[in-house]
Structure 1
Amino acid sequence: MTTPAFTAIDHAMMARALRLAERGAYTTRPNPMVGCVVAHGDDVVGEGFHVRRGGPHAEVVALAAAGDRARGATAYVTLEPCAHTGSTPPCVDALLAAGVSRVVAAMRDPFPQVDGRGFERLAAAGVDVASGLLEAQARQLNRGFLSRVERGRPWVRVKLAMSLDGRTAAADGDSKWISGEASRADVHRWRARAGAILTASGTVLADDPALTVRFDDDTLFVPPLRVVLDAGLATTHRGRVREGDAPTLYLHAPDARPPRDLDIARRAVAVQDGRLDLHAVMATLGELQINEVHVEAGASLCGGLLKAGLVDEIVLYVAPVLLGEEARPLFDGLDLHTMGERIGLETLETRQVGADLRLILRPRASGTA
């Protein structure tokens, strides 16, 4: 592999490939989002992205569009081309057959069946290979896939809506609606890119959520798995969470008794201190090839996830309303008493969504303010 010396054209083409890759955000899982641009200099001769599992990969789509013009061209791809046969043939074979002279990748693919083998095969065949162009952006795009492959668990995003005084529900438990219509529409885009939408039995009982993706247009998406944490399987006979086309999975304690008159998808997970072990929950979802988990739940589960160090990202909608001191908080169970115990959050993005303010936050590493 050559030492990267990327030009302005290289940067522009990889940025284009990343934009293409993102078009598969709602459909590719559990596969990563990948985009590819085939070009001679600044002349694009083919481009494409991976749409869904089992379909052609981005390189194959782009090479088909390029045809004979791919010979001698540079292929810009957002992830290392695969060198193994999965549900489709190796992309390395397609690149070599097309006669490209150079491959520029944003990053190495850590998936064990790839992990450098694609680069090695291309280089052995005389193709000029370079990697690392816009790698940070590529990692951000596929943070869920990378989390599952590298950490053995999904990327966990917690969605919350609160009043200006930091409350998520009124004192009587009513939470509809703190945020405005524009924010609620925005949430469906976050749901659509997740492999699973996670909630707890308490939320099912209190709010009766459907946890489905609903768009006003014909946006293509794969319905996420709805996951209910219900230690005793107490909510299986009620709630909209089992209605519609989206699948539903109940995670429960090993000693729970399943309902005899209801066929449900379920899996037992370990219990710790009388509650479902949240680390075991995430390991189970990782085994199910879930890349991103989108959490919509009450303060107990959200607090438990944060305390366990399992929250990677918080999407917080702040509405210009006040609910008072008796209203419900964002997180329960954190047991913080001093400034030294505070949990630091990094603000990644601030955006106006209708009348609300949307913040994207990430917990800081332990020990940082």
Structure 2
Amino acid sequence: MSLYQSPYAYFGIRFFYEGDKLDLYLSKAIQLAKMVKGQTGVNPPVGAVVVKNGRIIGLGAHLKQGEKHAEVQAIDMAGDEAQGATIYVSLQPCTHYGSTPPCVNKIIDHGLDKVVYAVKDTTLPSKSYEILTQAGIQVYQQFDHEAYCLYEDFFKAKAEKIPEITVKVSTSIDGKQATDYGQSQWITNKTVKQDVYRLRHSHDAVLTGNKTVLADNPQYTTRVKDGKHPIRVILSRSGDVDFSLDMFHDQLSDIWIYTEDATLTTTLPNVFINYMSNCKIPDILQDLYKKGVGRLLVEAGPKVTSLFLQQQLVNQLIIYFAPKLIGGSGTNQFFQTQEVIDLQDTFEFEIVNSTLLDQNIKLELRKK
């Protein structure tokens, strides 16, 4: 085992390397965190692994906002064996009191010997290093790029107090979401539909415009076994909502309508009206975050999609391309602007991943 003192030690961070086994344990903690991404609300997804004498004795993940944190889950599983053990955590253990006590207290109370974490939490002032070391516990950080990518958008979203935003588009190869006659079902194939169900499962809410709801009568559910149905968010400035449509009667998840119509009301038990004098996207995003939406999927028509892209309110852009040419006018082009954009001012993205889905292509992009 070797200890490497880096310049980061000035900030109370030490880096720890213990070969392949360390990588394995920390990797398991990160994979646990990735498995719960999208179900922890405005809290970060965290995984933890407790190890003693080369044997895993506890596993944990933060399963839901307000419930036990990953470290607590893992230590509870380890029980009395946790004394003298090492805990590997995807994110630096917390020190603040919220809906649950600080994780550092649990680590100290159960006599763990060492803490190794992948990413430092930059969203809150934390003295976990000082608190743990004063209790005689060794604390190390092993930076992991995969873990950093997991938390990068979370850090940005928490700083801005808005959800992490994924914009999803299904389109022809000439960028059309529908024909000029409004036909849109279905441009992409069944494999894409299954992938979109999984995408919805990993988000707290899905947002769309009222025109899309009226045109397509969608449900925005997750049709996978034990899938989590996201909250449905509808933007309807005019309040012209048709409550006879399917989604208003399945009661699989709540529906939140944002409108400028103060007279809009309903008696449906799972439908909630949010009145705003001016339904601006940034204000809606802040309200969603206050209500506990940590990850938002935008699954809408060209108008709403373009609003998010124009205002650069996007962390991840996912485009599903079908090998079809639709033609016609630009009415249903997925990205539209009133003015012509100079090439020097275009919105640039980087391709993170591309996948072939039975002759349809999935492009995953991030804003540069």
Q: Same fold (TM over 0.5)?
A: yes
Offset of 1:265 from its aligned partner?
1.0
Q: Distance in 2 between matches of 1:259 and 1:94?
A: 47
Identify the match of residue 131 of structure 2 among 115, 121, 134.
121
Whether the aligned pair in 2 keeps the contact of 1:147 and 1:154 (CA below 8 Å) is no
Which stretch of structure 1 is more off in the superposition, 202-211 or 65-74? Answer: 65-74
Structure 2 CA distance for partners of 1:206 and 1:31, relative to 1, 3 Å? same
Q: Using the alignment, how far apart are the partners of 2:153 and 2:134 within structure 1?
A: 31
Superposition deviation, residue 288 in structure 1 = 1.4
Q: Does 1:355 align with 2:359?
A: yes
- Correspondence list, 1:90-101, <5 A: 90-101=102-113
> How far apart in 1 are the matches of 2:242 and 2:180?
27
Does 1:332 pair with 2:325? no
- Could you tell me which residue of structure 1 aligns to residue 3 of structure 2? none
Deviation at 1:26, TM superposition (A): 4.8
CA separation of 1:268/1:138 partners in 2, compared to 1, >3 Å: closer, same or farther? farther
Contact kept in structure 2, 1:110 and 1:149, CA below 8 Å: no
Amino acid at match of 2:182: G
2:202 corresponds to 1:198:
no
Kindly state the Cα deviation for residue 103 of structure 1 after the two structures are TM-superposed. 0.6
The residue number in structure 2 matching 1:342 is 346
Residues in 1 aligned to 2:338 and 2:50: alpha-carbon distance in whole angstroms: 51
Q: 1:289 to 1:261 in 2, by over 3 A?
A: closer
1:140-219 equivalences in 2 (<5 Å): 140-143=149-152, 145-215=154-224, 217=225, 219=226
Q: Mean alpha-carbon deviation: is it higher for 8-17 or for 167-176?
A: 8-17
Worse-matched range after superposition: 102-111 or 243-252: 102-111
Q: What pairs with 1:270-349 in structure 2 (closer than 5 Å)?
A: 270-271=277-278, 276-326=279-329, 328-333=332-337, 335-349=339-353
Cross-structure match for 1:269: 276
Instruction: Please give the alpha-carbon distance, in whole angstroms, between the structure 2 residues aligned to 1:25 and 1:183.
Output: 21
CA contact (8 A) 2:153 2:315 kept: no
Task: Check whether the contact 1:195–1:224 (CA below 8 A) recurs between aligned residues.
Answer: yes
Q: CA RMSD in A?
A: 2.2
CA contact (8 A) 1:303 1:334 kept: no
Distance 2:308 2:97 in 1: 37
Question: Aligned partners of 2:347 and 2:218: how far apart in 1?
Answer: 29
Q: What are the equivalent positions in structure 2 for 1:227-238 lying under 5 Å apart?
A: 227-238=233-244
Output the CA distance in 2 between the equivalents of 1:160 and 1:110: 32
CA distance in 1 between partners of 2:30 and 2:142 (Å): 13
Task: Sort the Cα spacing of 1:260 and 1:343 in 2 relative to 1 into closer, same or farther, 3 A.
Answer: closer
Unaligned runs of 5+ in 1: 365-369
Give unmatched runs, 5+ long, in structure 2.
Answer: 1-11
Counterparts in 2 of 1:72 and 1:307: CA distance versus 1, 3 Å: same
Looking at structure 2, the residues matched to 107 and 28 of structure 1 have their Cα atoms a distance apart, in angstroms, of: 18
TM-superposed CA distance for 1:130, in Å, is 1.9
How many angstroms does 1:358 deviate by? 0.4
Corresponding residue SS for 1:285 = helix
Residue 228 of structure 1 deviates from its aligned partner by 0.5
Aligned equivalent of 2:91, options 79, 92, 115: 79
* Alignment deviations for residues 297-340 of structure 1 (CA, whole Å, 9 cap, x no partner): 11111111111121221111111122123362111226234322
Separation (CA, whole Å) in 2 of partners of 1:149 and 1:339: 32
Amino acid in structure 2 at the alignment position of 1:14: L
Report how far residue 35 of structure 1 moved.
Answer: 0.6
Deviation at 1:88, TM superposition (A): 3.1
TM-score by length of 2: 0.88
Q: Are the structure 2 counterparts of residues 293 and 307 from structure 1 closer, same or farther at C-alpha, using a change threshold of 3 Å? A: same
TM-score using structure 1 length: 0.88
Aligned length in residues: 353
Cα pair 1:232 1:257 within 8 Å, conserved: no
* TM-aligned CA deviation for residue 351 of structure 1: 0.9
